[in-house]
Structure 1
Amino acid sequence: MMRIHNNLHARCNQQHTMHRGGRGHGLGHGFGRGFGGRHGDDTGGRGPRRRMFDSGELRLVLLKLIADEPRHGYDLIRRIEELTGGAYAPSPGVIYPTLTLLDDMGQIAAQQSEGSKKLFAITPEGQAELDINEERIEALIARLRAIGKERQRPDAASVRRAMGNLRQVLINRLGSREADTETLNAIVALIDEAAQKIERL
Structure 2
Amino acid sequence: MFHHHHHARYEERMREHWKSYARGRMRGRRLGRLLEHGDLRFVVLALIAEQPRHGYELIKELEERTGGAYRPSAGVIYPTLSLLEDEGLVRQAGGEIGRKLYEPTEEGKAALAQSRAHVDAIFARIAEAAESSESSRPRIARAMTNLGMALQHRLSRRPITSEEIDRIVNILDDTASAIEKS
Verify same fold: TM over 0.5. yes
Q: 1:77 to 1:170 in 2, by over 3 A?
A: closer
Q: Is the 8 A contact 1:64 1:130 kept in 2?
A: yes
1:78-157 matched pairs, under 5 angstroms: 78-154=60-136
Deviations 1:103-140 (A, max 9, x none): 01111010122322111001110011111110110111
TM-aligned CA distance change 1:36 to 1:66, over 3 Å:
same
Opposite residue 133 of structure 1, the aligned amino acid is S
Aligned 8 A contact 1:67 1:127 in 2 = yes
Contact 1:109 1:123 in 2 (8 A): yes
In structure 2, the partner of 1:63 is 45
Superposition TM-score, scaled by structure 2 size = 0.65
| CA contact 2:67–2:134 (8 Å) conserved in 1 | yes
Q: What secondary structure, in the 3-state scheme, does the structure 2 residue paired with 1:121 have?
A: strand
1:58-78 C-alpha deviation (Å, 9 max, x unpaired): 000000000000000111001
| 2:34–2:129 Cα contact (<8 Å) kept | no
Equivalent residues in 2 for 1:160-171, closer than 5 Å: 171=173
Tell me if structure 1 keeps the 8 A contact 2:93–2:102: yes
Q: CA shift at 1:153, angstroms?
A: 1.5
Structure 1 position 98, deviation (Å): 0.7
Question: Could you tell me which of 15, 20, 23 is aligned with 1:49?
Answer: 23
Q: What amino acid is aligned across from residue 171 of structure 1 in structure 2? A: D
Greater displacement, 131-140 / 26-35: 26-35
Determine which of 29, 35, 38 is the counterpart of 2:13: 35
Matched-pair identity in %: 36
Aligned to 1:187: none
Relative to structure 1, is the Cα distance of residues 82 and 48 closer, same or farther in structure 2, using a 3 angstrom cutoff? closer
Instruction: Give the TM-score normalised by structure 1.
Output: 0.59
Please list every run of 5 or more consecutive structure 2 residues that lacks an aligned counterpart in the other structure: 25-32, 144-169
Q: Provide the C-alpha distance between the structure 2 equivalents of 1:77 and 1:33, rounded to a whole number of angstroms.
A: 31
Relative CO higher for 1 or 2, CA cutoff 8 Å, sep ≥ 6? 1
Whole-angstrom distance in 2 between the partners of 1:172 and 1:87 = 26
- In proportion to residue count, which structure has more helix? 2
Seen in structure 2, the aligned counterparts of structure 1 residues 154 and 127 have a Cα distance that, compared at 3 Å, is same
Give, as a single letter, the amino acid of the residue that structure 2 aligns with 1:65: L
Once the two structures are TM-superposed, the CA of residue 149 in structure 1 deviates from its matched residue by: 1.4
Corresponding residue of 2:28:
none
In structure 2, do the counterparts of structure 1 residues 35 and 154 end up closer, same or farther at CA, with 3 Å as the change threshold? same
Deviations 1:170-192 (Å, cap 9, x if unpaired)?
9349xxxxxxxxxxxxxxxxx9x
Aligned in 2, Cα 1:108/1:28: closer, same or farther, shift over 3 Å? same
State the 1:54 CA deviation. Answer: 1.9
Aligned residues: 141
